[in-house]
Amino acid sequence: MRPDMEPLRVYTFAPAWGLPTSGPFALKLLAWLDHHSIPYQQKIENRPDRGPLGKSPWIEQGTLRMGDSDAIMRHLAAQRGLPDPSRCDTSAQAANLGLRIAFEERFHQIVEWELFVNPEGRREMRAIIRTLTPPLIGPIVFAQMARHFGRQLRARGIGRLAPAQITDEGCRLLDALMLRLEAGGGWLDEGGPGLTDFAVWGQVAPMLCWPMRTPVADHAKSLPILRAFHDKINSLREVQPSAIAAAG
């Protein structure tokens, strides 16, 4: 069978907080696939180390296994004759590349900090992991994950900042995003939505949807323009509940 005719499987973390997955990069990928009406089956796999790059999400199609959401989108776009989604040949696209990096690199670390270091986030994550693991294993898995992310955040430098500094940085990034959304009439990509909208949405959607009171998420929830952006992307997403299955 031609590779592009093989069923496409997308491996992501489990759904959470009313979103199809808790993973920001997988949210971006699923929104992009839905936007382009590319059929796929979402497979739930909470162990990123099972993927080809040790990170979530990844895809499998025939004999192909591929990680990294941007590489996946470029590959699928080429396979289907769509334009390269991360193509950058105008100054607006160059500015959006910077915005994606700000949110997928720096803001993403703040999301992880609120989930695995902030006490409110830790309480929620501990409870979620308990529901996803056999009895008695949950606390061990949570402790390993919290240690892993805590070490990564310290190595990146952000984990060495005071909580108030991390909060301040997260809120500043969101306030800068508001200026861009206002200027762009509610979208980040010209004639949106596009890759930058999906990428930034993937990073902010968990914070907008999770129930716990963490400081940057509280700020995000207080921004009507951001909530409207989230609602628009959420309503664009095709709901594919029957396509979700456990990996295996």
Ligand X SMILES: N[C@@H](CCC(=O)N[C@@H](CS)C(=O)NCC(=O)O)C(=O)O
Task: Quickly count: other Cβ atoms within 10 Å of residue 153's Cβ.
Answer: 20
| Least gap, CB of 182 to ligand X (angstroms) | 27
Q: Residues with Cβ < 8 Å from 77, sequence gap 6 or more?
A: 83, 84, 85
Can you tell me which of 34, 45, 60, 68 binds ligand X, judged by CB under 6 A? Answer: 68
Nearer to ligand X (CB atom), residue 48 or residue 138: 48
Query: For ligand X, which stretch binds (CB under 6 A), given 18-26, 94-102, 122-130, 234-242?
Result: 18-26
Residues numbered 122-151 forming contacts with ligand X, rule: CB under 6 A: none
Nearest to 120 by CA among 204, 33, 187, 218: 218
Minimum distance, C-beta of residue 153 to ligand X, in the bound complex (Å): 11
Question: Does residue 247 interact with ligand X by CB under 6 A?
Answer: no
Which two tokens mark 218? 């509280």
**Of the two residues 66 and 178, which places its CB atom closer to ligand X in the complex?**
66
CB of 58 to ligand X, least distance (A): 8
Cβ pair 142, 126 in contact under 8 A: yes
The amino acid at residue 123 is R
Tokens standing for residue 46? 């909470």
Among 25, 40, 103, 116, which residue interacts with ligand X (rule: CB under 6 A)? 25
CA angle 21, 88, 4 (to 5 degrees): 55
The single residue listed with the structure tokens 């508001």 is 178
Closer to ligand X by CB, 53 or 245: give it: 53
CA angle 102, 34, 94 (to 5 degrees): 30
For the CB of residue 92, give the shortest distance to ligand X in the complex, in Å.
22
47-66: which residues touch ligand X (CB under 6 A)? Answer: 48, 55-57
Size of the site for ligand X (CB under 6 A): 10
- Binding interface with ligand X (CB under 6 A): 23-25, 48, 55-57, 68-70
